Amino acid sequence: MKKILSLAIIFCCVLAVPVVAAMKSNPANDNANQNNKSDLFRPIHATDIKIAKKEIPSLDIIKEMKSRTETPPGQDKKKKPSVEENAATGILGDALNENANKYAVIIGICDYPVADAYLCWADGDSLNMYQALINSGYNSDNIYMYRDTVPNHPEITDGPATFINIKNAVFDIRDNRGLKEADEVVFFFSGHGGSINDISGDEADGKDEALVVHDGNNITGISDDMLKDWFSNFATSRIIFIFDTCLAGGMNDLADEDPSDNGRVVVMATAEDKSAYVYSRGIVGVEEGEGVFSHFFVNEGILQGWADKYYEDGNHYGQVVIEEAFDYAKQNIPTRLKRRQTPVISDMFTNDLLLGYYLPVS
Ligand SMILES: [Ca+2]
Ligand SMILES: [Ca+2]
Ligand SMILES: [Ca+2]
Ligand SMILES: [Ca+2]
């Protein structure tokens, strides 16, 4: 995230889009792909997407979530749940090499350019994820932030969450940053999900799932087939995908197919045919908008360290592995929402992947 866009809010998206295009290189050319894969590089037409909007829980469920109290980090380590039920094994997997670089694309959208898709006032999930990665040593120059067109905290954005910005960021990391096998990449998305008719025949339910984004004027989408293609030929398999959308489970197309390596982790807020809920719609000056899953996974689980309670080994204190953040989020979804929101993980990383620090990195 580079700070040159701090003035963009004044001029709104009209200025923000060209600035971002100039700031980051643009290796993918929309017009150059005239082969049969060209559809993987073109935005989905708005009328082809069926949007699955995040749902708002009833007031008493929101109250229940907000009145919960949790044991502070490090004080509940004997309550490690059985391994069979959880993603975390309690054993740290391979650490990042000292020479490794870490890159991330973080997307949070609330202000979709169609009135009835408006999600909340603020895209707080993206800010929380940004802070979580900064805390764990990510360099802000290696984080590509795409958020609301008129975001809160406008100093923390590289521009609006448009199809072209997101696509260019993925290809920039893949092709222009000297990505190595040892490097780590995070792709985080919080917003609406959607589906389109599957024409490639790889979906049992006949539907491709999509992340709903926009082009400045209209809704468009990034399908699972597109993301799978964009993330092919990456130099590293240490890639963590986090999707907080309805139908997120359909993004399992991105799972690592090679069980022999320390591979990808795909964290999905809910199943392929299910909803995702909003935790907070955001109140100006009071609270940021958040998704239920991201609230527990990123905010409480990692940033506040509440997920760090499964290990009895004190050496792990201050650190949260992605698997325990997932377990924490899954456990804390309110019972009354669990019928409709069921988090899913595809974890091909051997043992546990250390991602978050809620105490300063020493
Ligand atoms: Ca497909
Ligand atoms: Ca599907
Ligand atoms: Ca799918
Ligand atoms: Ca694992």
Most distant pair of Cα atoms in the chain: their distance? 58
Q: For 139-179, what is each residue's pLDDT tens digit?
A: 999 999 999 998 889 999 999 999 999 999 999 999 999 99
| Contact present, 158 and 1 (Cβ < 8 Å) | yes
Please name the residue that has the structure tokens 């044991």: 71
Q: Does residue 132 have a pLDDT over 80?
A: yes
Is 280 strand, coil or helix?
A: strand
Residue 246 Cα to ligand 3 midpoint, Å, equals 12
Where are the alpha helices (H) located in the chain, listed in sequence order? 8-23, 59-66, 124-135, 163-176, 224-230, 292-294, 322-332
Give the DSSP H or E segment for 241. Answer: strand 239-244
Higher pLDDT, 333 or 22: 333
CB-proximal residues (5 Å) to ion ligand 3 = 209, 224, 250, 253
Query: Which ligand lies nearest the alpha carbon of 87?
Result: 4
- What residue segments make up the domains of the chain, in order of their start? 3-357
Please name the residue that has the structure tokens 């799978």: 228
Q: Do β-strands 219-223 and 207-214 pair in parallel, antiparallel, or remain unpaired?
A: antiparallel
Query: Which ligand lies nearest the alpha carbon of 250?
Result: 3
Residue 355 Cα to ligand 3 midpoint, Å, equals 26
Dist CA 355 CA 319 (whole Å) = 8
What's the pLDDT at 1? 74
Residue 253 Cα to ligand 1 midpoint, Å, equals 9
Residue 353 Cα to ligand 4 midpoint, Å, equals 6
Residue 12 Cα to ligand 3 midpoint, Å, equals 34
Q: Selecting from 3.40.50.1460, 3.40.50.1370, 3.40.50.620, 3.90.550.10, what CATH number does the domain 3-357 have?
A: 3.40.50.1460
What's the pLDDT at 174? 98
Residue 330 Cα to ligand 2 midpoint, Å, equals 22
Q: For 203-225, what is each residue's pLDDT tens digit?
A: 999 999 999 999 999 999 999 99
pTM exceeds 0.85: yes
Residue 357 Cα to ligand 3 midpoint, Å, equals 31
CB-proximal residues (5 Å) to ion ligand 2 = 203, 205, 207, 250
What's the pLDDT at 247? 98
Is 219 strand, coil or helix?
A: strand
Average pLDDT, the chain: 84
